[in-house]
Structure 1
């Protein structure tokens, strides 16, 4: 026998509370996931920009070393920066006192140390948000000095 539709009992209060609780938990989880994803995305963009600045600085130092190996010398200041001078179309290493190290929200510095007469170690470091940094190193060698007494192999 069929029961009358209007004679059925209503939904229990516990069922409503349970459904609201599950829905709330799901919404909070989704909002948190979106927030964490956005934060991770922004951090990866910052790190990619820093990586580009580091690689650009190393490339500039490498080019300076090819043009004039003796120009890879640091004297006087504590911190140095490397930047491309559009006026002379050349890379320059200058003291950070002239704000040459600041590139937007990033600070790029370079350090150069001699390994021997033909080789120098170049380290470019980029710092952002005061606690994040990225650093790459490269060894630049002047092959003309190495090959002075013997023929150099073709590149």
Structure 2
């Protein structure tokens, strides 16, 4: 239904911004297991109408979806987690350096630290990067804190 609505806005109304909003809304609200076709269509839409940043965001979103799916299927295999963690690190660095959205950066680090099954394995790199981010923000108490429960 969302795809048909977005295509209607794009093809018949020539409203690409509305179509983009529909795709983004759908991706935020549809369960990940049912959104694979939606991601593919959104990437194709962005390749046709989007700027470089929009295309990159769509591709990163699709990659994140694929990594999350692999992690869900193989929760004990660290190699799947490693790809996912590095994707999240790149996303956090983008938010901090390019978008300069410090709250979003903090949110990305916290969500990543929440998702890692620390009782099975951990990634020291994500802990260090999160702490270094807080130090750059002059928030030393947060740099020392344990974010797992946050």
On whether the aligned pair clears a TM of 0.5, the verdict is no
Coarse TM-score class (shorter-chain normalised): under 0.3
Q: If the length of structure 1 is used for normalisation, what is the TM-score?
A: 0.22
| Bigger relative contact order, structure 1 or 2 (CA pairs below 8 A, ≥6 apart) | 1
Q: Which has the higher strand share?
A: 1
Q: Which has the higher helix share?
A: 2
